[in-house]
Amino acid sequence: MIRAMSPMNQMLKINEIFYSVQGEAHSSGFPTVFVRLTGCPLRCSYCDTAYAFKDGNSKTLTDILHSVEQYKTAHVCITGGEPLAQPHVHQLMHLLCEHQYQVSIETSGAFDIAQIDPRVSIVMDIKTPSSNEIHRNLFDNLKHIKPTDQIKFVISDERDFHWAKSILEEKTLHQLCTVWFSPTHPSMPPHQLADLILEHQLPVRFQVQLHKVLWGDTPGK
């Protein structure tokens, strides 16, 4: 008889697990364990984690949980790559929630979010023109966004800004959840994006990546 694999023995390919300060979104500033999954089918022009496309090691959910438990924090962020490209990530999120962690997931917006555990805070990108992946946006995901979720636009130039503004207004995104506008460096200086947000009086939140202010592009930070 073939026995089904125990959920705790399900495998995920993990690029890295590390402890740092959350640099983005609602939980910015909180000490957080980051679980970075390997793999992503997108190739965004501004990607800063290309090292996660292929490199990694297979770990069971038990192994991952034990790694997370080494750190004294309630915050866990599932990231990538694109974490939803590995189906067993759903079991991992459920497991972490069952262990009373405050879990968030960072996703590209190119994968269905409908099955994500409702206790998880989703931070979902909407890809702007400069990403070269605008065709990947799965706008049906907006039907599943909760007030506790977050939407992020990465802005590289004024074209991105005006495109994002049009999507924000057309789909009234600010009525769904918090919307973030985040500048890329160096093509969009932070002060320039902040000025544009103020000039157009947009109901969004401006952010810079706190971890990069602190540590630059150091991997695992």
Residue 88, in any domain of the structure: yes
Question: Alpha helix (H) ranges present in 74-205?
Answer: 89-98, 158-170, 190-200
Residue 7 above 80 pLDDT? no
Tell me how many domains the chain contains: 1
Domain holding 42: CATH number? Answer: 3.20.20.70
Residue 30, in any domain of the structure: yes
Question: Could you list the residue range(s) of the whole structural domain that residue 41 is in?
Answer: 7-215
Q: Which residue has the higher pLDDT, 177 or 213?
A: 177
Cα first-last separation, the chain: 46
Residue 221, in any domain of the structure: no
Q: Which residue has the higher pLDDT, 36 or 5?
A: 36
Mean pLDDT value across residues 53-72: 96
Least confident of 14-18, 132-136, 217-221: 217-221
Q: Which two tokens stand for residue 144?
A: 């599943």
User: Cα angle at 64 between 88 and 33, to 5 degrees?
Assistant: 110
pLDDT tens-digit profile of 194-216? Answer: 999 999 999 999 999 876 777 67
State the residue for tokens 């009086």: 201
157-193: b (≥16 Cβ within 10 Å) or e: beebbebbbebbeeeebeebbbbbbbbbeeebeeeeb
Interatomic CA distance for residues 23 and 35, integer angstroms: 14
Residue 2, in any domain of the structure: no
User: Cα angle at 195 between 189 and 196, to 5 degrees?
Assistant: 95
Residue 173, in any domain of the structure: yes
Residue 1, in any domain of the structure: no
Interatomic CA distance for residues 17 and 6, integer angstroms: 23
Tell me the pLDDT band of 13, cut-offs 50, 70 and 90: very high
**Cα four-point dihedral sign 190, 199, 203, 139:** negative
Q: Which two tokens stand for residue 37?
A: 């999954």
Contact status, residue 38 vs residue 15, Cβ threshold 8 Å: yes
Contact status, residue 43 vs residue 96, Cβ threshold 8 Å: no
Contact status, residue 55 vs residue 40, Cβ threshold 8 Å: no
Residue 15, in any domain of the structure: yes
Residue 55, in any domain of the structure: yes
Three-state SS at 27: coil
Mean pLDDT value across residues 80-92: 96
Three-state SS at 8: helix
Contact status, residue 28 vs residue 123, Cβ threshold 8 Å: no
Nearest of 33, 35, 32 to residue 15 by alpha carbon: 35
pLDDT of residue 212: 73
